[in-house]
Amino acid sequence: MTINFGELFGWLLFITLTGTLMNYGIKFVNKQFGKNAAPDSFYKKSMKVLTTVFVRNHKYFGLMAVVLLLIHLTIQFLTYGPNLTGGLAASLLLVQAILGWNANSKKKPRKGAWFMIHRSIAVLIVAAVILHLTLPYSLNALIGQKTTGQSEKISETADLQTFTLEELST
């Protein structure tokens, strides 16, 4: 059994991105349903735990996503070459990280143009990741760029000589 470390780091990256998006989801759910819940209810207790894990640590999930992105990108690029859907998702994530880091370092409030851009880029990242996971070489094919790595390995395997059972048994 071989481990594809590029794929492993890609899925770890996906998990951390989900963790960053939980920030918005938890706040949305709490805004919709938190007012009507009793103070000692299961809802309030579970929301307190979820808020502690995902909302307070949003920037750490983002930082971990950038670290995992750099590892995933390096491994995949060295193994398979350029991938435009991955490059699109990576570029959006890096812009998002720079925007979040800048807002955090300058202690900007959660309102204004930067915040709307931050949320809009998050939606674009989700779309880019879905595109990357479902059609990894689609943009390469559209612009006529040859893909490297995995598709070459597949074509090399397809060119190997095949044998029938009778030929193998003699």
53-92: pLDDT as tens digits: 999 999 999 999 999 999 999 999 998 888 889 999 999 9
CA 54/CA 33 separation, integer angstroms: 18
pLDDT tier for residue 149 given thresholds of 50, 70 and 90: low
User: Which comes out higher in pLDDT, residue 103 or 148?
Assistant: 103
Residue 2's pLDDT is what?
58
Ranges of each domain in the chain: 1-80, 82-148
8 A C-beta contact, residue 84 and residue 56:
no
Q: State both tokens at 67.
A: 């670290």
CA 128/CA 41 separation, integer angstroms: 38
Q: 147 pLDDT exceeds 80?
A: no
pTM: 0.76
Of 8-17, 55-64, 105-114, the least confident:
105-114
